[in-house]
């Protein structure tokens, strides 16, 4: 006959089974996400043939490697869950593509093919209407670009526009004339004085 003190010890393994059953390992199915940040120009567009591309990779468990065209790229110091990187693009001709691959510890990967374009053509400003009443100047027109207009300013004040290859604008300012400035996606700038 067993003693009463031994009975709780026999029941102990039965109590541990439900607790041990909840120790399942979770699998990492979240693949890294590559994001390219734009600098002075837009994403993948530059005035220069050699320029720096910056970005980051987001992963829930941490990024282990980043490559560009099968060459390793250093991950900048900081968290591996938000892994920042940069590389120098050297575009031969007017266009090119860079293959960026990011991997995490579980072997999940994300692949991004980043097209890059060299754009040295400045935007074109066409003033369709200019009128001055007293000290108030009204100016309207269009800005055109081979890629995309990103910003229009009149006397240093930025207009609210929707970026695109052709953008209509209207502004009121004070003075004798209106100084217009248009910037495209690559950072090319055209200035014009409307009077």
Is beta strand 33-37 parallel, antiparallel or unpaired with respect to 164-174? Answer: unpaired
- Angle ∠(124,125,128) on CA atoms, nearest 5: 140
Instruction: Work out the average pLDDT over 78-106.
Output: 92
CATH architecture assignment, domain 33-118 = Sandwich (2.60)
Confidence of residue 162 (pLDDT cuts 50, 70, 90): very high
- For every residue of 34-88, DSSP letters joined together read EEEEP-SS-TTEESSSEEEEEEEEE-SS-EEEEEETTEE-PPPSS-STEEEEEEE
Query: Which residues in the chain are classed under CATH 2.60.40.10?
Result: 33-118, 124-194
pLDDT tens by residue, 116-147: 889 999 999 999 999 999 999 999 999 999 98
Is-contact 97 106, C-beta < 8 A?
Answer: no
Q: Which of 142, 185, 183 is nearest to 166 (CA)?
A: 142
pLDDT tens by residue, 30-84: 899 999 986 555 567 888 888 889 999 999 999 999 999 999 999 999 889 999 9
Confidence of residue 28 (pLDDT cuts 50, 70, 90): confident
Looking at the chain, the whole-number percentage of residues with pLDDT higher than 70 is 84
DSSP structure class, residue 28:
-
Q: Specify the pLDDT at position 23.
A: 56
Is-contact 106 133, C-beta < 8 A?
Answer: no
User: Is it true that domain 124-194 has CATH number 2.60.40.10?
Assistant: yes
Instruction: List residues bridging with 181 in a β-sheet.
Output: 153, 191
Structure tokens at 4: 């009463």
């Amino acid at each position: 006959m067993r003693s009463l003190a031994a009975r709780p010890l026999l029941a102990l393994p039965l109590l541990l089974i439900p607790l041990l059953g909840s120790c399942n390992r979770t699998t990492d199915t979240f693949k890294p996400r590559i994001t390219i940040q734009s600098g002075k120009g837009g994403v993948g567009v530059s005035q220069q043939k050699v320029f720096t591309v910056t970005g980051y990779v987001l992963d829930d468990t941490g990024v282990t490697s980043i490559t560009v065209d099968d060459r390793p790229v250093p991950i900048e110091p900081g968290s591996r869950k938000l892994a920042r990187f940069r590389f120098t693009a050297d575009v031969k001709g007017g266009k090119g593509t860079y293959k960026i691959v990011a991997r995490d510890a579980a072997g999940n990967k994300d692949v991004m093919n980043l097209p890059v374009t060299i754009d040295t053509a400045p935007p074109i400003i066409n003033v369709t209407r200019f009128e001055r009443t007293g000290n108030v100047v009204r100016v309207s027109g269009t800005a055109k670009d081979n890629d995309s207009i990103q910003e229009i300013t009149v006397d240093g004040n930025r207009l609210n526009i929707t970026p695109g290859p052709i953008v209509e604008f209207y502004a009121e300012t004070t003075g004798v004339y209106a100084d217009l400035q248009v910037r495209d996606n690559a950072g090319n700038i055209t200035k014009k004085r409307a009077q």
